[in-house]
Amino acid sequence: MVLIFGGGYICGYDFRRKTNIYSFTISNCKGINGSVLVYLNGYKVGGVKNVVFDKKNFSSKVYFSVDKDIIITENSSISVDSPFFGDKSLLLNIGEGKPIKPGDSIRVIENNTDLGGLLEKLKNVSEGLSVFLNKLNKENIQKNASGSLKEISVLLKNFNEGRIVDKVSGILENTQKVVTNVNSLIDDVKNNPKKYLKALF
């Protein structure tokens, strides 16, 4: 068993208040520690006391305190609030039914989507994709941009010489070639991902 202890006076809640201890079992206790508070309809009523990890079942039993004057009933539940920003918290919901005894376990509603983790993964994917595309296309983009600037310069120079139509046609043709090359690159990435992953890393 692994114990993670908390306690003290944290985030405006005095853990020395008279409380009762209850528990719940959860499959993933990431972010649940002694600084996590328990809320009932937005009001702080308790906090996590400790977490016990079961190495056989790979689950965690979370012990938390609740103000002694709050009656926990048999149909009550608790859930983990995981905001995009800020710390996690436990949300207590008092249901109907008979009161349970201090020390009893209550039902937990697990949310399998870790929003904070998902946001971090999306950020990493976005940054990785940006680097990937930059490495693949930097030389081609610079070459095409340079060529386009030259075309524009020539276009302006020849504007008054009656050759504007031919120049516009040439630029459109060059643009079509660029689009074709981009499409070919996308198809090649789809068909040979390992080659581009190697170039990326």
Residue showing tokens 């109907």: 96
Q: Which pLDDT does position 144 carry in this prediction?
A: 58
Q: Are residues 107 and 31 in the same domain?
A: yes
Regarding whether 159 and 67 lie in a shared domain, the answer is: no
pLDDT at res. 47? 95
Same domain? For 97 and 127 the reply is no
Pair (148, 98) in one structural domain: no
Helix (H, G, I), strand (E, B) or coil at 132: helix
What pLDDT sits at residue 30? 87
Give the structural domain span for 127. 118-200
Question: Distances in Å between the alpha carbon of 80 and those of 18, 65, 133?
Answer: 23, 15, 38
Residues of the chain with pLDDT under 70: 1-16, 84-85, 111-176, 178-179, 194-201
Residues 82 and 175 in one domain: no
Q: Total structural domains in the chain?
A: 2
Residues recorded for the chain? 201
Q: Are residues 97 and 153 in the same domain?
A: no
Tens of pLDDT along 71-115? 999 999 999 988 766 788 999 999 999 999 999 999 998 765 555
Residue 192 and residue 133 share a domain: yes
pTM above 0.75, yes or no: no
